[in-house]
Amino acid sequence: MKAMTLAVDALAVELGQAPGHVLVDGNRLPRWTYPATPLVGGDAKSLSIAAASIVAKHTRDLIMIAAADVHPEYNWHSNKGYGCAHHMKALRDHGPTPIHRRSFAPRRRRLSGARGTFRTGNDELSLSRHTPRA
């Protein structure tokens, strides 16, 4: 939600005017003054949201492919940063990178030194030997 809020605010500045109305994919609205409507499952109900979703995912994939050149151990060329088993193992073995979202639960666990087990699809990884980097 934070990224979307920042993007809409930046767009309003770029356009020199506030949006007339914003459709938000989800059940909550950010705290702003723009008129807006939340749409649960918005990408299936609104062509505007569906198109924005496709553009956002494609852009994110391009960013992850570029980041893979800097951090090849995460295999982002193929997994695009999704939480597959290889990505989770790389996170455990190498720690988070600056581009890992702070809200990404395995990163939070890694940084906090949490112990335990977490699931990634059908795979389970143990954090019992995990210690945060200094």
Question: Which pLDDT value is given to residue 123?
Answer: 37
Question: Which pLDDT value is given to residue 102?
Answer: 72
The model's confidence at residue 106, banded by pLDDT at 50, 70 and 90, is low
Instruction: Please tell me the pTM assigned to this model.
Output: 0.63
Nearest to 44 by CA among 68, 25, 67: 25
Whole-angstrom Cα distance, residue 41 to residue 26? 7
Residue 96 has pLDDT above 80, yes or no: yes
Q: How many residues does the chain have?
A: 134
Question: Which pLDDT value is given to residue 13?
Answer: 93
Question: Which pLDDT value is given to residue 108?
Answer: 62
DSSP annotation of 25: E
Averaged pLDDT, 109-117: 51
Question: Which pLDDT value is given to residue 109?
Answer: 64
Averaged pLDDT, 18-37: 92
| β strands within the chain, DSSP E | 22-25, 36-39, 117-120, 123-126
The model's confidence at residue 37, banded by pLDDT at 50, 70 and 90, is very high
Question: Which pLDDT value is given to residue 52?
Answer: 92
